[in-house]
């Protein structure tokens, strides 16, 4: 489709005409997908938390992030880009998944995400627990080949089974590695911290294709050092960014299911994401927001700004 043929971009509701506490309940008050003829970026919710091992509640994450996104504005000065002005971004609503059957749920997410991507849109997926990363990676590896995963989390999420169950929020990246979805030379964890089940967890993780920038490394090397290591590892292939909001310190994201002390600040995370500019980002998710444990939308606002920076990266990469 040539530039001339592309339909005019429909942006968010104008906050100078409609107060922020009014208007649609979509992400950043953007148009719904059925209100635009095509989309470059689709924000989609996956209300699902049947894979969690501790606190539940991430099924209410998508709605909470949308409700916390009403203050997002048209121009992002940190990246000098209009994320909703240079590309069509729309809210595709939620993928309705079976809360009682994990295998059915995973198949549904895979099938529905494939449909959403079929016209070339990139997905920014609002979880839901971290189980959802596996079906999303299955879809993207079919489209792009082996994926370099950039995984922000307190947890490795490369464990094997929980109570014998292979598909949980603690196992998505082991399953993805085993299924051949990942570029094993270019996957990276950011923000890892807290107690492990065994030292062998780290050896397994390395075998599965990951390197680690620990939360404590930010203390020594700062954001710049973390971004340098991140970019050196990711290379120039297709990159999928999976952000477990518990990568943030519980002070910055109390509303999550498995909190660990000693995490990143929201400023460190946002500035790290800005370091993705120019890399081939093909999709992203933001998971593990559990609003029942949030206070004053602290976690919801952080997640909404994370989504805004990711959408801004997709916009900046179009320049
Ligand atoms: N929150 C995510 N994604 N994983 C947490 C795993 C916690 C545990 O194995 O104790
Ligand atoms: Zn986690
Ligand atoms: Zn996780």
Q: Is the pLDDT of residue 78 over 90?
A: yes
Which of the four pLDDT bands, split at 50, 70 and 90, describes residue 268? very high
Q: Is the pLDDT of residue 4 over 70?
A: no
Q: What is the mean pLDDT of residues 272-300?
A: 98
Distance 86 CA to ligand 2 centre (A): 33
Tell me: the pLDDT tens digits for 100-119? 999 999 999 999 999 999 99
Which of the four pLDDT bands, split at 50, 70 and 90, describes residue 23? confident
Range of the domain at 123: 27-160+175-317
For residue 170, is it within any domain? no
Q: Is the pLDDT of residue 7 over 90?
A: no
Distance 151 CA to ligand 2 centre (A): 10
Which of the four pLDDT bands, split at 50, 70 and 90, describes residue 2? low
For residue 17, is it within any domain? no
Q: Is the pLDDT of residue 3 over 80?
A: no
Alpha carbon distance 249, 265 (integer Å)? 6
pLDDT of residue 319: 81
Q: What is the mean pLDDT of residues 180-201?
A: 98
Tell me: the pLDDT tens digits for 66-77? 999 999 999 999
Dihedral angle, C-alpha 54, 57, 296, 125, nearest 10 °: 110
Q: Are strands 148-152 and 210-214 parallel, antiparallel or unpaired?
A: unpaired
Our answer on whether the CB atom of 288 is closer than 6 Å to any ligand 1 atom is: yes
Q: Is 285 annotated as a binding residue?
A: no
Q: Is 153 annotated as a binding residue?
A: yes
- The CATH number linked to 128 is 3.40.800.10
Q: Is the pLDDT of residue 53 over 90?
A: yes
pLDDT of residue 207: 98
What is the value of pTM for the model shown?
0.98
For residue 307, is it within any domain? yes
Contacts of 76 (CB under 8 A, 6+ apart): 82, 83, 308, 309, 312
Our answer on whether the CB atom of 151 is closer than 6 Å to any ligand 1 atom is: no
For residue 63, is it within any domain? yes
How many structural domains is the chain composed of?
A: 1
Q: Is the pLDDT of residue 140 over 80?
A: yes
Given the CA of residue 257, which atom of ligand 1 is nearest to it? 1
pLDDT of residue 178: 98
For residue 168, is it within any domain? no
Q: Whose CA is nearest to atom 4 of ligand 1?
A: 170
pLDDT of residue 1: 60
Q: What is the mean pLDDT of the chain?
A: 97
Alpha carbon distance 42, 45 (integer Å)? 10
DSSP H or E segment with residue 281: strand 281-287
Tell me: the pLDDT tens digits for 168-178? 999 999 999 99
For residue 167, is it within any domain? no
Alpha carbon distance 54, 56 (integer Å)? 6
Instruction: Give percent of the chain with pLDDT exceeding 70.
Output: 99
Q: Is 157 annotated as a binding residue?
A: yes
Q: Whose CA is nearest to atom 1 of ligand 1?
A: 258
For residue 13, is it within any domain? no
For residue 275, is it within any domain? yes
Tell me: the pLDDT tens digits for 238-247? 999 999 999 9
Q: What is the mean pLDDT of residues 291-309?
A: 99
Considering only the C-alpha atoms of the chain, give the largest distance between any 2 of them, rounded to a whole number of Å: 58
Q: Is the pLDDT of residue 5 over 80?
A: no
Tell me: the pLDDT tens digits for 141-168? 999 999 999 999 999 999 999 999 999 9
Distance 258 CA to ligand 3 centre (A): 9
Given the CA of residue 130, which atom of ligand 1 is nearest to it? 3
């Amino acid at each position: 489709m040539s530039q001339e043929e592309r339909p005019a971009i429909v942006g968010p509701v104008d906050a100078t005409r409609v107060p922020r506490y009014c208007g649609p309940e979509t992400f950043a008050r953007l148009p719904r997908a059925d209100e635009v003829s095509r989309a470059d970026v689709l924000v989609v919710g996956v209300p699902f938390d049947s894979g969690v091992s501790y606190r539940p509640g991430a099924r209410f994450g998508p709605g909470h992030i949308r409700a916390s996104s009403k203050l997002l504005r048209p121009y992002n000065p940190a990246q000098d880009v209009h994320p909703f002005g240079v590309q069509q971004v729309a809210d595709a609503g939620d993928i309705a998944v079976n809360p009682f059957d994990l295998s059915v749920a995973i198949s549904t997410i895979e099938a529905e995400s494939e449909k959403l991507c079929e016209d070339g849109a990139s997905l920014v997926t609002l979880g839901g627990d971290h189980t959802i990363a596996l079906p999303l990676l299955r879809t993207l590896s079919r489209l792009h080949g082996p994926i370099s995963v950039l995984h922000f989390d307190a947890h490795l999420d490369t464990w094997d089974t929980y109570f014998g169950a292979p598909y949980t929020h603690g196992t998505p990246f082991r399953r993805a590695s085993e299924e051949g979805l990942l570029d094993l030379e270019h996957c990276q964890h950011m923000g890892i911290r807290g107690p492990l089940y065994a030292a062998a967890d780290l050896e397994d993780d390395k075998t599965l294709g990951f390197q680690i920038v620990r939360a404590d490394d930010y203390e020594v090397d700062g954001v710049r050092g973390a971004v340098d290591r991140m970019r050196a590892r990711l290379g120039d292939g297709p990159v999928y960014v999976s952000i477990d909001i518990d990568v943030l310190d519980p002070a910055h994201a109390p509303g999550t299911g498995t909190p660990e002390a000693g995490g990143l600040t929201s400023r460190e995370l946002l500035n790290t994401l800005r370091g993705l500019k120019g890399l081939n980002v093909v999709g992203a998710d933001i998971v593990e927001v559990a609003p029942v444990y949030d206070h004053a939308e602290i976690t919801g606002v952080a997640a909404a700004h994370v989504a805004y920076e990711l959408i801004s990266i997709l916009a900046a990469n179009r320049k």
